[in-house]
Every structure is written in C-alpha cells, then in structure tokens.
C-alpha cells in the first residue's frame, strides 16, 4: 500500500510547559481521532512525532494511523529550543522511513512536514544548515506554525512554504490548529498523483496565514 508519511515536529522547550503542552496533547488526540474517521487518511496516512527542546527525539516513529497509539508529550522545566537538531533528525528519519525510487517496492506519497514552535531556534547555525537539507527531502508541503507572540516568524520563512500563526497557546486555538492539520493531511491523502506542491485548505478563524 502507498503510504502518506506525515512528520510533526513539536517544540517542547520550557516555555511550552503547562497549558500549552496540555493543549498540544489534547490537540494531538483530536487530530488522530479525526484521521481515524477519514477513510483515506485511515488507510494511507502514517504519523511520526518528533519533539525538540534541548535536544530532539523521536517520540513516535512513523506509524500507520490504524496502529497508532499517541504518547503523552512532556516538557522540561526550562531550556533552549534546538530547532536545527529537530530538522536534522527529521531528515534522517525521512531517509530511513520514506520509501522512494525503486521498481520493487510501492513508493510512498511525498511526505508532509508540520513544525510547531513558540520561540526561535537557539541553534541558529545548525538551523540554517538544515533548511536546505529539508528542502532536498521533497516534502509535498512544509508547514510551520508560530504559536504565540514570542514565535519568530522570520526564521520560519526560509523553511516553510506555508506559515500560520496562533495568537495564543490555549487549548481552543490549538484545537483549531490541529483540526486544520488533520484537514491538510486528508487533502494530502486525496491529491492522488500530485507532482506539484500541495495546496492546503484555508485555515480556520484563529489560525492566521502568514504571507
């Protein structure tokens, strides 16, 4: 079966502690629940979650929706945001997990990347190195979400072809964001034969598109 690989990169730096991370966990539950109800996503989408704070880690390897069990995402008390390390890790994972270029296996659809951050990278050098590496992975879409007022949108512009911003990091806003991620994944699962960049559905009210 042809899979749609979806990578979610989630900022778990200290500033996400408390309500924001609770909202992320709730949002992920909603996301997975709605993907289970979409037949195309249920049959084709695979989800991986990478979190990053003082370093980056895979908290969920690429897993089909039907087998998926969400881990609970936690944050440290405080600490830096190593966004560059997260990008490096996602590139490694894509190289390992996404099936391409063979006449013997069923190739995957182009993967989708979502990155959510509430700050700016502390490893700027690494981040700048990894942006072109990410581009080489041929994501059908790279979508960045700047959560809250401290998120630095300018840094994300180099990386993402879609940027959205959230004014607040509360559960209502995150819930809207994850509902939109779900709709985007569904539309990715449906754009069969896409050779061009994926066009995402319009975001909901509290998720602002940044041009």
Partner 1 sequence: MGNESSGKEKQESVTPPQGETSDQQVQVSDDKPSVKEPTTVEGSLGGNNAPTAIEATVDQADVGDKAGNAAASAAEEPNSGVPVGPPVTLLKHPVTRLPNCKITGIDYEHPLAAALASSFQPHEIKSVGITNKADGVNWAFNEQSHVISCKPTAAGEFEVELCVDVQKHERHVFPLRLTVNPDPKTLWKNLPSPKNGVYAKPDCDKAFLSCGDLSIVAASQRGRSHAQEAKPRDDDFAYNYDPDNARAVLVVADGAGYAKFSRKGSKIAVDTACEQVAHSTGKDYWAEMEPHIRKWKETQDSVSEKTIQKSLYTVLIHAAFEAKKKIDQEAKEHEARYKADYNKAEKFSAKDYATTLILTLAKKFDFGWFIATYWVGDGGVGIYQPNLNKVILHGIPDSGEYGGQTCFLTMDSVWPNDANVLIQRRIRFDVVDSFKAIILMTDGVTDPKFETENNLNSIIRWDDLWADLAKAVPWEKRDGSVADSLLAWMDFWSSGNHDDRTMMVLY
Q: At 207, which helix (H) or strand (E)? A: strand 207-210
Least gap, CB of 84 to partner 1 (angstroms): 26
In the region spanning residues 26 to 65, those forming contacts with partner 1, defined by CB under 8 A, are: 36-40, 42-44, 65
Span interacting with partner 1, options 95-103, 115-123, 124-132, 158-166, rule CB under 8 A: 95-103
In order of 148, 165, 173, 202, 209, the CA distances from 206 in angstroms are 11, 8, 6, 12, 10
Taking CB under 8 A as the criterion, the residue among 19, 100, 157, 167 binding partner 1 is 100
194 binding partner 1? (CB under 8 A): yes
Least gap, CB of 170 to partner 1 (angstroms): 21
Taking CB under 8 A as the criterion, the residue among 57, 135, 136, 138 binding partner 1 is 138
Least gap, CB of 71 to partner 1 (angstroms): 8
Q: Please tell me the distance from the alpha carbon of residue 63 to that of residue 140, in angstroms, as a whole number.
A: 19
Beta carbons within 8 Å of 69's beta carbon, 6+ residues apart: none
Q: Please tell me the distance from the alpha carbon of residue 51 to that of residue 54, in angstroms, as a whole number.
A: 10
DSSP-derived secondary structure for 151-180: --HHHHHTT-SEEEEES--SHHHHHHHHHH
What is the number of other CB atoms lying within 10 angstroms of the CB of residue 124? 12
192 binding partner 1? (CB under 8 A): yes
SS3 127: helix
Compare residues 3 and 206 and give the one whose CB is closer to partner 1.
3
Compare residues 91 and 153 and give the one whose CB is closer to partner 1.
91
191 binding partner 1? (CB under 8 A): yes
Tokens of 107: 């190739």
109 binding partner 1? (CB under 8 A): yes
Rounded to whole angstroms, the maximal C-alpha distance in the chain is 48
Taking CB under 8 A as the criterion, the residue among 11, 53, 88, 108 binding partner 1 is 108
> What does the binding site for partner 1 look like in residue numbers (CB under 8 A)?
1-3, 36-40, 42-44, 65-69, 71-72, 100-110, 138, 189-196
């Amino acid at each position: 079966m042809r899979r749609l690989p979806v990578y979610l990169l989630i900022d778990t730096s200290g500033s996400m502690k408390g309500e924001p991370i609770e909202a992320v966990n709730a949002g992920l539950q909603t996301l997975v629940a709605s993907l289970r109800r979409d037949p195309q996503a249920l049959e084709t989408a695979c989800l991986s979650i990478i979190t990053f704070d003082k370093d980056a880690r895979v908290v969920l390897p690429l897993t089909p929706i039907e087998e998926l069990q969400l881990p609970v995402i936690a944050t440290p008390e405080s600490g830096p945001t190593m966004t560059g390390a997260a990008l490096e890790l996602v590139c490694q994972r894509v190289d390992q997990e996404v099936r391409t270029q063979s006449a013997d296996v069923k190739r995957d659809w182009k993967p989708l990347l979502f990155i959510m951050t509430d700050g700016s990278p502390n490893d700027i050098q690494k981040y700048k190195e990894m942006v072109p590496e990410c581009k080489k992975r041929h994501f059908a879409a790279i979508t960045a979400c700047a959560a809250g007022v401290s998120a630095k949108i300018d840094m994300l512009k180099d990386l993402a072809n879609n940027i959205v911003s959230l004014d607040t990091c509360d559960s209502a806003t995150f819930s809207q964001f994850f509902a939109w991620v779900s709709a985007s994944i569904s539309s990715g699962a449906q754009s069969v034969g896409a050779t061009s960049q994926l066009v995402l559905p319009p975001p909901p009210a509290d998720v602002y598109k940044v041009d």
